[in-house]
Amino acid sequence: MAKLQQLADLVGGEIKGNAELDIFHVAAIDQAGQGDITFVANRKYLAKLDFCQASAVILAPGIDAPGNNLIICENPYLAFAKILTFLQVPERPVKGIMPGAWVADSAVIDKTATIYPGCVVGERVSIGAGSTIYPGVVIYDDVTIGQDCLLHAQSIVREGCRLGDRVILQPAVVIGSDGFGFAPDGDGYYKIPQVGIVVLEDDVEIGSNSCVDRAALGETRIRRGTKLDNLIQIGHNVEIGEDCILVAQGGIAGSTKIGNHCTFGGQMAIAGHLKVGDNVMIGARGGASGNVAANQVLSGVPLMPHKEWLRATMTVPKLPEMRKDMQKMKKRLEELETLLKEN
C-alpha cells in the first residue's frame, strides 16, 4: 500500500486530486476498483475512464479527465510498470543455502544469496549478493553469476558460463548447451567439442525453455539489457547487441552477429555467419539469409521492407486467378496475332 503522493514521487509525476489516497493495487482499466490505480497510455482508451472505478489514474500531460485523481507524467506505461513493481512485487527473502541444495565446497556463495532445495551447484561456482536460485536449478562447474540475479526453477547453466548482474532466467532455460557442430567422417559424423562459453551481460532476461548454445571456441555473447522470450534458439558463437527484443520461438544460427536495439518478431529466423546492423526490426516469421544493413523494418522470406511484404502477401491468395488470367491473355494475344497476320 502507498499514498498517491508516494507513487507520484516514485515516477516523477504530478498529482491532480487527493494526494493522500491509499492505493493498494494496479489494475487494468476495465477491471480496476476502489483502492486501485490504472493507467491510460493510448488515447483511444480514454473513453473507458467514464466507466472506470479506479481510485486513481496515470495519464500523460495535456489530457484532462475531470473527476479523477490523477498522476500526470510523461510516460504513463513506464510509470505503470514502476508503480506495479513497487506495490506488488515482494522482495525476495534471503534464505542462504537451504537444506536440500547440493553446493560444492569450492563454490563461493554470497551470504545474501538464496539457493532453494533441489539445486545442484558445481565446483568453483561464484554467486553474487542478492541472487536467488529457485528449486531444481543446476549450475555446472566454474560458472560465475553476478548480483541480484534470478534463476527460476530448473534453469541450467553449463560449465564456465558467465552471467552479469540482474540477469533473469525464466524456468527451464538452458545456457551453455553444446553448439551443433559435427565434422563429416565417412558416412557419419564426428562430434566437434564445444569448449567455448556463453556470456550473458547485465540485465539480460531469457524466456522459458529457450536455449543459448556455448561457443565451439571462444564465446556466445548476449549484451546488456537484451530480452529473449520463450522457446528461442541461439546458436554457438552468436553475438547479440544491447537492448534487443526477441519474441518467442525465433532462432539465430551459429556465428551470426546482431547489432544493438534490434527487435525480432516471433518464429523469425536468421541464418548462420551473417551480420545484422543496429536498429533492425524483423517481423514475425521473417527469415534472413544474407547480411542486413542497419535501420530497417523488414519482413518475409526473402526479407523485404515490411510494407512491400504486406503488399506481396496480400497478392498470394490471388496467384491462381492471376495464372488463369495470364493464360486467357495469352490466348487473346495469339488470336490478335493471327488476325493481324491474316490481314
- Site membership for its own copies, residue 287 (CB under 8 A): yes
Select from 16-24, 62-70, 107-115, 299-307 the region that touches its own copies (CB under 8 A).
299-307
Please say whether the dihedral angle defined by the alpha carbons of residues 11, 13, 19 and 24, taken in this order, is positive or negative.
negative
* Cα 31 to Cα 24: distance, rounded to the nearest angstrom: 14
Q: Stretches 14-22, 49-57, 61-69, 180-188: which one binds its own copies (CB under 8 A)?
A: 180-188
- What residues between 5 and 64 interact with its own copies by CB under 8 A? 26-28, 31
Say whether residue 294 binds its own copies (CB under 8 A): no
CA-to-CA dists, residue 195 to 192, 223, 236, 294, angstroms = 9, 20, 11, 32
Asked if 134 is part of the footprint of its own copies (rule: CB under 8 A), the reply reads yes
**C-alpha 108: how far from its chain's center?**
30
Cell for 281? 526490426
Contacts of 112 (CB under 8 A, 6+ apart): 94, 129, 130
Q: Is 249 in the site for its own copies (CB under 8 A)?
A: yes
Select 19 or 124, whichever has its Cβ closest to its own copies.
124
Q: How far is the CB of 84 from its own copies (least distance, A)?
A: 5
The nearer residue to its own copies, 49 or 247, going by C-beta atoms, is 247
C-alpha distances out from residue 70 to 35, 37, 98, 206, Å = 13, 9, 45, 35
**Closest distance to its own copies from the beta carbon of 66 (Å):** 26
Instruction: Write down the least CB distance from residue 19 to its own copies, Å.
Output: 24
Q: What is the DSSP string of 41-88?
A: -SGGGGGGGGG---SEEEE-TT---TTS-EEE-S-HHHHHHHHHHHHH
State yes or no: residue 123 binds its own copies (CB under 8 A). no
Query: Contacting its own copies (CB under 8 A), which of 61, 74, 77, 95?
Result: 77
Please, which residue, 47 or 322, has the CB nearer to its own copies? 322
**Among this protein's residues, is 236 annotated catalytic?**
yes
The Cα–Cα gap between 171 and 154 comes to 6
**Cβ nearer to its own copies, comparing 55 with 208:** 208
Among residues 12, 96, 100, 290, which is the contact residue for its own copies, using CB under 8 A? 100
CB nearer to its own copies: pick between 49 and 133: 133
φ, ψ dihedrals at 36, nearest 5°:
-100, 150
Q: Is 1 one of the binding residues for its own copies (CB under 8 A)?
A: no
Q: Which of 25, 152, 236, 306 is catalytic?
A: 236
Helix or strand or coil: residue 257?
strand
Of these, 12, 43, 64, 88, which contacts its own copies (CB under 8 A)?
88
Side-by-side strand order, sheet with 275-276? 108-109, 126-127, 144-145, 162-163, 197-200, 219-222, 239-240, 257-258, 275-276
Q: Does 118 bind its own copies (CB under 8 A)?
A: yes
Site for its own copies in 147-176 (CB under 8 A): 152-154, 156, 158, 168, 170-172, 174
Between vectors from CA 64 to CA 59 and to CA 66, what angle results, nearest 5°? 110
Distances (CA, A) of 107 to 29, 139, 190, 220, 317: 48, 10, 34, 24, 60
Work out how close the CB of 293 gets to its own copies at its nearest, in angstroms, rounded to a whole number. 16
Q: For residue 270, which phi and psi values (nearest 5 degrees)? A: -130, 130
Contact indicator for 166, 203 with CB cutoff of 8 Å: yes
Subset of residues 216 to 245 that bind its own copies, contact rule: CB under 8 A: 217-218, 225, 227, 229-231, 233, 235, 242-243, 245
315 is a site residue for its own copies (CB under 8 A)? yes
Among the listed residues 125, 145, 211, 280, the single contact to its own copies using CB under 8 A? 211
Active site residues: 236
